[in-house]
């Protein structure tokens, strides 16, 4: 049994708290947003997790010192745009060697760093791992079978976290490719916006399959340039997470995309979704990475134009369809021709 503090009381933080409590661990949930904790204390039924009731064994607190006291493991479950701020807030209170597992997915626009990299910068004395994969909180909190991957620098750390998180309804694999895990989990949110936009435009399954497939090609090209492993991007935190985020109505990125496709502005879409839409915050950074590594990412580029330049969604889709002609896989030779 471990003493675990979950930092963040959003849907994913609470979903993980439920999972870890059911696994027999002592769980504390902290939030910097006092009203979130007050609402949960008053009624232990999270508004965004219908049908879920938090066990009385899960401790809820607004006091950071109380939350961190005696914790064997910290789970960073705030939205990606708040990761650095939260890491900086707790940095001086974290003992050397403390294990932190990040579950946020995103890219910091100014630095182009992933959440784990931000935590390492702010809390250099900690050991930081990541957990990612196709895992909507709405399903994890209800015990629906889910599979994820833990990424860590040390195999022993990954295996320790695997033991903590794994259950009959939550299978966990391990991987040393932290970069690939975070890259897949972050950029897929931008591609999911495009899938939602296609839905909002009234397009069908053919369009969505094309966006998922070509979106994965964009992620893979960037991953190769950055040094991520192909196996990772072909796995749970790559294509697995991309599929579930593009296809599910649990996905706030897809829901925001639907609204964009129907003509809403970026601000209107985010307001209607009512939660942080990670893809909006990662879109510019993903585009900046594509330029930094000289990788062509046309879907990411068109999503940016829709979000920040007011380009009509239908026009963006037409431009994607009418891009210059090319082979699907440029490294495959034609019979009778030299490579």
Amino acid 326: pLDDT = 86
Q: Is the pLDDT of residue 339 over 60?
A: no
334 lies in some domain? no
What is the domain extent for residue 103? Answer: 3-176
101 lies in some domain? yes
- CATH number of the domain at 207, please: 1.10.1040.10
Per-residue model confidence as pLDDT tens digits over 158-182: 999 999 999 999 999 999 999 999 9
Same domain for 273 and 232, yes or no, is yes
Same domain for 70 and 57, yes or no, is yes
Per-residue model confidence as pLDDT tens digits over 185-240: 999 999 999 999 999 999 999 999 999 999 999 999 999 999 999 999 999 999 99
CB distance 18 to 53 below 8 Å: no
Per-residue model confidence as pLDDT tens digits over 297-335: 999 999 999 999 999 999 999 999 998 888 888 788 888
Same domain for 167 and 225, yes or no, is no
* Number of structural domains found in the chain: 2
- CATH number of the domain at 157, please: 3.40.50.720
More confident residue, 277 or 316: 316
**Catalytic member of 62, 93, 154, 188:** 188
Amino acid 48: pLDDT = 86
How many angstroms separate the CA atoms of 7 and 9, rounded? 7
Q: What does pTM read for this prediction?
A: 0.93
Is-catalytic flag, 188?
yes
């Amino acid at each position: 049994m471990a003493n675990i503090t979950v930092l963040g009381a959003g849907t994913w933080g609470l979903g993980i708290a439920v999972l870890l409590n059911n696994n027999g661990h002592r769980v504390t949930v902290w939030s910097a947003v006092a009203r979130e904790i007050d609402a949960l204390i008053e009624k232990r039924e999270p508004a965004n997790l219908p049908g879920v009731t938090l066990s009385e064994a899960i401790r809820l607190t607004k006091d950071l010192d109380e939350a961190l006291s005696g914790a064997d493991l910290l789970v960073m479950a705030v939205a990606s745009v708040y990761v650095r701020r939260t890491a900086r807030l707790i940095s001086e209170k974290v003992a050397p060697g403390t294990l932190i597992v990040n579950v946020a997915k995103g890219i910091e626009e100014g630095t182009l760093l992933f959440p784990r990299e931000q935590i390492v910068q702010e809390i250099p004395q900690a050991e930081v791992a990541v957990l990612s994969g196709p895992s909507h909180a709405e399903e994890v909190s209800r015990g629906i079978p889910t599979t994820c991957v833990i990424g860590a620098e040390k195999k022993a750390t990954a295996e320790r976290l695997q033991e903590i998180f794994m259950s009959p309804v939550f299978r966990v694999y391990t991987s040393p490719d932290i970069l690939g895990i975070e890259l897949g989990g972050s950029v897929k949110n931008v591609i999911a916006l495009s899938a939602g936009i296609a839905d909002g435009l009234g397009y069908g399954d053919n369009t969505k399959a094309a966006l998922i497939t070509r979106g994965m090609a964009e992620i893979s090209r960037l991953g190769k340039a950055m040094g991520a492993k192909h196996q990772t991007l072909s796995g749970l935190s790559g294509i697995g997470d991309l599929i579930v985020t593009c296809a599910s109505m649990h996905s706030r990125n897809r829901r925001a995309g639907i609204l964009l496709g129907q003509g809403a502005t970026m601000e209107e879409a985010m307001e209607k979704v009512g939660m942080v839409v990670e893809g909006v915050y990662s879109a510019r950074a993903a585009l900046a990475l594509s330029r930094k590594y000289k990788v062509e990412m046309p879907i990411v580029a068109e999503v940016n134009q829709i979000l920040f330049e007011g380009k009509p969604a239908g026009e963006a889709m037409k431009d994607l369809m009418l891009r210059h002609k090319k082979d699907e896989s440029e490294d495959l030779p034609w019979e009778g021709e030299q490579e």
